[in-house]
Structure 1
Amino acid sequence: MIGIKAIGSYIASNRVSNIARKQDAGKDEAFIRDKIGFESLAKRDAGQETSDLCVAAHEALKAQPAFDGSAIDCLIVCTQNPDAHGLPHTSAVVHRKLGLGHDVACFDISLGCSGYVYGLSMITAFMAANSLRSGLLFTADPYSKIIDQQDWDTELLFGDAATVTWLGEEPVYRCRPAMFGTDGSLGHSISVAERGGRLKMLGSNVFKFSMTEVPAQIQRYLEREGLSQDDIDLFLLHQGSRFIVDNLARKLGLPPEKAPFEAGQTGNTVSSSLPLLLENRLSSPPARILLSGFGVGLSWATMALESLIDTHNTTRG
């Protein structure tokens, strides 16, 4: 069975304080802390490419004692902000920088905040279909490449980070089948209109979609999978803002501890927000986690993860 074995991450080391910029942004401190939720944002160094963020996340993964980089036979990068103009594909650039062998399947997928759920579904199916045994799923979307620093509707939200999820046999978590949704008619709600342009976002559209389509899909997913909310130990929701996470939790009737907001010092890291949340749970894995990613597209996706390791590190069977 192919599933999640470990996660490595890299959060850009530079920090920009939203609190310090509150007057420039025309916001008060309570709004930044309680609504946006991002007190500071992680920002990449000038010249630091998407592939560089991926390589830094891989360095963290290499610290895992069981990780064997020589066995990698699949590498996928989820990004909508690739190196240069996307030629060659960023996964090939990462492949070169990691010095991997030639017998490795490499490709990119272009998705934003739903990308981790899509990516898990794609890489597990791709590996199983092609008898691959050890794969890497990278997420890296440095939105600092496309942000207008004078647009406070976006400048206060996004941080730069990358993650890499190692998938293979004898995993910590298996991925149950996912559920997906798309509304391309609202794609203009989070968009870059032209090559070299800046990100524009219609916040009211995004919030309304987050409060309607996302909880409805979560409920349909639980029904389809024969699960109740009580069967889920932890709901990991895309960290779009504290306001969105808190209101989604209330909409679903969840206590705050079951739907945490933990991005206050990093910002919305797009496709990396879910694996950053999940990374901290792998050492003592909850039995069942629900992932919900939603955003650019508009796109949304839900997946349940089931632990194959009990608290005493023995296989459940």
Structure 2
Amino acid sequence: MKPIYSRIIATGGYLPERVLSNHDLAQMVETSDAWIFARTGIRTRRIVAADEKTVDLAEAAARQALADAGLGAEDLDLIVVATTTPDQIFPSTACLLQARLGNHGAPAFDIQAVCTGFIYALATADRFIRCGGTRRALVVGAESMSRIIDWTDRGTCILFGDGAGAVILGASDEPGVISTHIHADGAYADQLQVPDGETRMTMQGNAVFRMAVRTLGEMVQETLAANALDSADIDWLVPHQANIRIIQATADKLGLSMERVVTTVQHHGNTSAASVPLALDDAARRGCFQPGQRLLLEAFGGGFTWGSALLRWS
């Protein structure tokens, strides 16, 4: 019996209409466009409207992916949504999305791994397909981060934005998703969290930055070693869009020029679990990837969580 693999057959993305620029933030906290850009690489980010929900973002991204794949909701065997900002405690955002799309009966559930959420969700869906029985899976990262931001704290409010990205995985005879690698260490929980009983994020910025740079560098080496590859074998890096300096440090570890790194942080900010699929969709629509090229996706988030996925584009 031939092994079953998964591959990405379509992508989708959605950003809210409202644009919040660095100049806008300078009217809210003591900062400036130059200060923010020099430290983060961010110029603008998108913010949900007052009546816009996380499931709304997820639905828009999912519908775009379905349309690109030429599929209907009834063709999905699995729905996994990565989010840190659900609209309600339960039902899950995945179940709410399932109802919106009109799918009935497929398993649907959320994954919460903050900024690494999409990588966790992709790894989960990939395993469902490899085990057989699941032919097509919708994987979404959707976040309304603006709702958990302390808008008086310039250390965090300048970083985050809202949005959603989606992919559809299909069963394949050839590997599209080559390997996934996910990790966590809860010993660092207090460095990036929404404390118990509160609704606003706190972050120890310098400590998180150092840990992210070190851990993502190790993640790159783990992924290469697991597949007997060298850094020269990677065609594109699709990183979590947290901070341009973290992205550049990871690219340096791979020996990749920034021309081979997908960057949307300047326009999107850090959209947490949505950032990797949004970046993937953005680059795919610009025609950056060629069939057969190897893509390395990676992310680091609160928990701490971190992970990577090595893909062959098709």
Report the counterpart of residue 306 of structure 1 in structure 2.
312
Q: State the Cα distance separating 1:52 from its structure 2 match.
A: 1.2
Displacement of 1:280 in angstroms is: 3.3
SS in 1 for 2:68: coil
The one-character-per-residue Cα deviations of 1:177-200 (angstroms, maximum 9, x if unpaired) are 222232211111110112442100
Cα separation, partners in 2 of 1:3 and 1:253, compared to 1, 3 Å = closer
CA separation of 1:12 and 1:204: change in aligned 2, threshold 3 A? same
Whether 1:241 aligns to 2:243 is: yes
Q: Report Cα offsets for 1:10-39 as digits up to 9, x if no partner.
A: 111111111233364333432222322221
In the TM superposition, what are the counterparts of 1:27-176 in structure 2 within 5 Å?
Answer: 27-64=31-68, 66-84=70-88, 86-101=89-104, 103-170=105-172, 174-176=176-178
CA contact (8 A) 1:5 1:173 kept: no
For 2:23 and 2:174, the matched residues in 1 are separated by 38
SS for the counterpart of 2:248 is helix
Aligned pair in 2 of structure 1 residues 127, 249: CA closer, same or farther (>3 Å)? Answer: closer
Match for 2:41: what amino acid?
G
Structure 2: distance between partners of 1:2 and 1:260? 22
Are positions 1:291 and 2:297 aligned together?
yes
Alpha-carbon distance change, 213 to 75 in structure 1, aligned in 2, over 3 angstroms? same
| Richer in helix (by share) | 2
Partners of 2:271 and 2:143 in 1: CA distance:
7
Q: What is the aligned partner in structure 2 of residue 314 from structure 1?
A: none
- 3-state secondary structure, aligned to 1:176: strand
Give the Cα separation in 2 of the matches to 1:118 and 1:280: 20
Q: Give the distance between the partners of 1:222 and 1:251, measured in 2 at CA.
A: 11
Q: Per-residue CA shift, 1:148-192, capped at 9, x if unaligned?
A: 111111111111001221111359971122222322111111101
Amino acid in structure 2 at the alignment position of 1:229: S
* Cα deviations by residue, 1:250-296 (Å, 9 ceiling, x for unpaired): 34433211224222122111111111121134456341011111111
* Contact 1:5–1:170, Cα closer than 8 Å, also in 2: no
Q: Displacement of 1:87 after TM fit?
A: 1.2
Which residue pairs with 1:313 in the alignment?
none
Identity of aligned residues (%): 29
- Distance (Å, rounded) in 2 between the aligned partners of 1:37 and 1:13: 21
Deviation (angstroms), 1:244: 1.8
Q: Given residue 190 of structure 1, which amino acid in structure 2 is its aligned partner?
A: L
TM-score (norm 1): 0.90
Which runs of structure 1 show a deviation greater than 6 angstroms over 4 or more consecutive aligned residues? none
Query: 1:32 is aligned with what amino acid?
Result: I
CA 1:66/1:172 → structure 2, altered by over 3 Å: closer, same or farther?
A: farther
* In structure 2, distance between residues paired with 1:187 and 1:233: 34
Distance 2:190 2:156 in 1: 14
Q: How many corresponding residue pairs?
A: 306
In structure 2, C-alpha distance between the alignment counterparts of 1:173 and 1:81, rounded to whole Å: 32
RMSD, aligned CA: 2.0
Q: Against the structure 1 CA distance between its residues 106 and 176, is the aligned structure 2 distance closer, same or farther, given a 3 Å change threshold?
A: same
- For residue 46 of structure 1, what is the amino acid of its counterpart? A
| Partners of 1:4 and 1:171 within 8 A in 2 | no
279-288 vs 233-242, which deviates more? 279-288
CA distance in 2, matches of 1:119, 1:201: 24
Unpaired runs of at least 5, structure 2:
none
Q: Distance in 1 between matches of 2:207 and 2:183?
A: 16
CA apart distance, 1:298: 0.7
Conserved 8 A contact 1:4-1:173: no
1:229 CA displacement: 0.7
> 1-side partners of 2:109 and 2:6: how far apart?
19
Change (3 A) 1:189 1:39: same
Whole-angstrom CA distance in 2 between matches of 1:95 and 1:247:
38
TM-score, length basis structure 2: 0.91
Q: What is the CA-CA distance between 1:210 and the residue it aligns to?
A: 1.4
Return 39-48 or 277-286, whichever deviates more: 277-286
* One-letter amino acid of the structure 2 residue matched with residue 42 of structure 1: R
**Secondary structure at the counterpart of residue 188 of structure 2:** helix
